[in-house]
Amino acid sequence: MLIEILGIIVVFMALRTLLAQNREERLLYLNAMSFAISAIIGLYIQTPFGAIIAITYFVASTISSNAIAYSLGRVKEEIMVK
């Protein structure tokens, strides 16, 4: 039951990502979607290796989201300075 609910959340976040107007909204929805995907991995593969895969996916998606947010912030600062 939890996997189905998380699947619905992933689909909903994917649709919201496609319909979002600005980059910050898209990043927020992508981040929520990646958290749900890591939870699905952890719930579906109920072994210690599944937990390792879920943790690895979660950490990698968080690092990539932070890198994108940092880059967007730098671009905005450069535009304001010029």
pLDDT tens sequence across 21-62: 887 788 888 888 888 888 898 889 888 898 898 888 888 888
pTM of the model: 0.71
Query: What's the CATH code of the domain at 45?
Result: 1.10.287
User: What's the pLDDT band for 81 if we cut at 50, 70, 90?
Assistant: low
CB of 38 within 8 A of CB of 58?
yes
Report how far residue 42's alpha carbon sits from residue 51's, in angstroms, rounded to the nearest whole number.
Answer: 5
Residue-level pLDDT at 39: 86
Provide the token pair at 79: 């535009």
Residues 6+ apart with CB under 8 A from 60: none
Domain total in the chain: 1
User: What's the pLDDT band for 79 if we cut at 50, 70, 90?
Assistant: low
Residue-level pLDDT at 16: 92
The CB-based long-range contact list for 53-57 (8 Å cut-off, 24+ gap) reads none
Cα first-last separation, the chain: 52
pLDDT above 60: residue 75: yes
Range of the domain at 64: 2-81
